[in-house]
Amino acid sequence: MNPDDTVLVALVQTPRDLEIAARERWYRIPTRHAPRFFSGAQALAFYLPAAFRERKWSIDTFATVRGHELARRRDLLPDEAQHPRADETYYKLQLGALQARVPPILSKRGRRVLFLWTNWEKFSNAREWNDLYLRTPAHEALYDALRADAWDVERETFVREGRARYRVDFLVYVPQGQIAITVGEANGQSRAGARQMNLTVTPAEIQANLARVRRMIQRAARELQQSYSTRQA
């Protein structure tokens, strides 16, 4: 594999699906959920959810992709011909032999994700889920700074504000709450309830004055701590 070769990380719903991939060397993706340009992947890596028990929240297996074809679910799984989605179409990815990813790529928390694009260099060097993302230089610089400052951070996750649910680029967990960070068009800070601080920083600010951005995050953490202390008093 070359460093720039494309790796598609896919959620495996059940241990049976992984067993089929290992035994029959194929994996199915519903056409209605298939990511764009999936056919460009040179390798497929498997993210394991809680159903895998002691292996949960990890990527410990991958395979090269040999090609794909279109098939109905009933043809792929003839023993489930009465399944409600039996006539739905799937992309059947032909795979090489499954290989172990040693050590596994771990996630500190469960990820509600179907697919993630990365490349072979990132996949080969990643220690945890957050290391896999391929984003702009500004995103990567901020992520490196958050790790250097030893923050407990997750990338591209969802937060709630009232009834709204939206994705943020980084979510920093602190004992008194969380700091949601978005890389956007204008710098800003706001509160979202007693336990969440929202920050927006621009790519230009990250590139030109990363030290200031780091101080903004530290200040937000102090404000959450002070607010928490006041509520407990």
Residues 11 and 81: their CA atoms lie apart, in Å, by: 23
**Which of 117, 132, 147 is the C-terminal boundary of a domain?**
132
**pLDDT of amino acid 26:** 96
Residues 110 and 35 reside in one and the same domain: yes
Residues 165 and 183: their CA atoms lie apart, in Å, by: 17
Q: Is residue 109 part of a domain?
A: yes
For residue 64, give its domain range. Answer: 6-132
pLDDT digits (tens, 9 = 90+) for 173-214: 999 899 999 999 988 998 887 889 999 999 999 999 999 999
Residues 130-140 have a mean pLDDT of 97
Strands 43-48 and 6-11: parallel
Q: Is residue 1 part of a domain?
A: no
Residues 110-120 have a mean pLDDT of 93
Residues 12 and 55: their CA atoms lie apart, in Å, by: 12
Percentage, residues of the chain above pLDDT 90: 77
| Residue 96 predicted with pLDDT over 90 | yes
| Residue 64 predicted with pLDDT over 70 | yes
Q: Is residue 211 part of a domain?
A: yes
**pLDDT of amino acid 193:** 78
Q: Residue 131: phi, psi to the nearest 5?
A: -75, -10
Contacts 24+ apart (CB under 8 A), 33-41: 33/114, 34/91, 35/8, 35/114, 35/115, 35/117, 38/8, 38/68, 38/91, 38/93, 38/115, 39/68, 40/6, 41/6, 41/7, 41/8, 41/65
3-state helix, strand, coil in the chain (%, to 5): 35, 40, 30
**Which of 132, 164, 197 is the C-terminal boundary of a domain?**
132
Residues 16 and 6: their CA atoms lie apart, in Å, by: 26
Residues 128 and 141 reside in one and the same domain: no
Residues 87 and 160 reside in one and the same domain: no
pLDDT digits (tens, 9 = 90+) for 16-40: 999 999 999 999 999 988 998 888 9
**pLDDT of amino acid 233:** 47
Q: Are 56 and 49 in contact (CB under 8 A)?
A: yes
CATH number of 30's domain: 2.30.130.30
CATH number of 196's domain: 3.40.960
Packing angle, helices 137-148 and 210-232, rounded to 10: 50
| Residue 85 predicted with pLDDT over 60 | yes
Residues 101 and 46 reside in one and the same domain: yes
**pLDDT of amino acid 228:** 54
Q: What is the mean pLDDT of the chain?
A: 92
Residues 109-116 have a mean pLDDT of 90
